[in-house]
Structure 1
């Protein structure tokens, strides 16, 4: 497959999914080998039988299969990474939402502390918020599209008016939630008029 030999898709030869188990691999091999074996005149195909045997011989060995999978990914672009389930996708979305809030709050503080120079470089954001560069590209794209952040003249990031309003709204919601949690065990008649109005 390397060193001048053409790449062979062993999974296609055996008609299995690249993530198949060793048992599924064996079952597929036995069925195909039986079908194309020279002893079966109706379906015999010696070349195909040999290809199936060679593919199975390679993939049945865990070490050889691991090495082959690396080549397979390189040649086909297929990813052997576990697919995200709806739950893990949901957790990722929650994590993204939290990071969006953290970025906005960080930029809000910067503009509030130094209104004339509110810009923050990408490196500072990544370092202070422990965010990877790849993930930050997604967050920056989203926040720009929402109008919450913008690029300054020197290419840094700064929060916009809409972004400031969003941070204030988030803070008010968080405070309201905290108060409701604190008052959860208290009787309503003991609330002040202002407290009652806050949780309406």
Structure 2
């Protein structure tokens, strides 16, 4: 359990609640140990058995369990944060579109100085540095953004193509909707 990535959920391993009593931990351990013991011909699994024993050894000792539970709470808190952040994906998509549109507008407005500084972007977008850094990384990986000699960031031709293709798709969708609406209006008596 050296890092959160290496963290093993012993409660999950023993198929028990984190609020389980010692007796429940003992019962589930015995059941699982018997089931996965390497000598068991049907379901024997040495690796799974070793994990079960390790979980039991930690959770049966009150001191070890208290230390583990502190790490477990930290792990659960981090997992909850990841879940909350995952809910922001649609918001991130909208932010990326707005950001790329800003770069597009700057390039069109001033070809001789097409870049925008990061601090200016933070002010314009109202995004924290960490979020902005994520979007900038994404744009650079996609080839939609590059760094100018002045240190500012500017949209690339691929980025312009991305914006223009999105605008074309939106215009096509709007035209389809207008046609659909006009056909419905004609069909009414």
Q: Same fold (TM over 0.5)?
A: yes
Work out whether 1:21 is the aligned partner of 2:18: yes
Output the aligned Cα RMSD: 4.2
More helix by share: 2
Alignment of 1:15-164 (within 5 A): 15-17=10-12, 20-23=17-20, 27-28=24-25, 52-55=60-63, 58=66, 68-69=70-71, 73=74, 78=75, 80=77, 81-82=79-80, 89=86, 92-164=88-160
Name stretches of at least 5 consecutive residues in structure 1 with no aligned partner: 1-10, 33-47, 60-64, 191-200
Whether the aligned pair in 1 keeps the contact of 2:11 and 2:18 (CA below 8 Å) is no
* Cα distance in 2, alignment partners of residues 23 and 176 from structure 1: 58
Name stretches of at least 5 consecutive residues in structure 2 with no aligned partner: 1-6, 30-55
Partner of 2:169: 173
**Local SS of the residue matching 1:95:** helix
TM-score in terms of structure 1 length: 0.56
Whether the aligned pair in 2 keeps the contact of 1:25 and 1:56 (CA below 8 Å) is no
* Cα distance in 1, alignment partners of residues 112 and 22 from structure 2: 65
Change (3 A) 1:25 1:152: farther
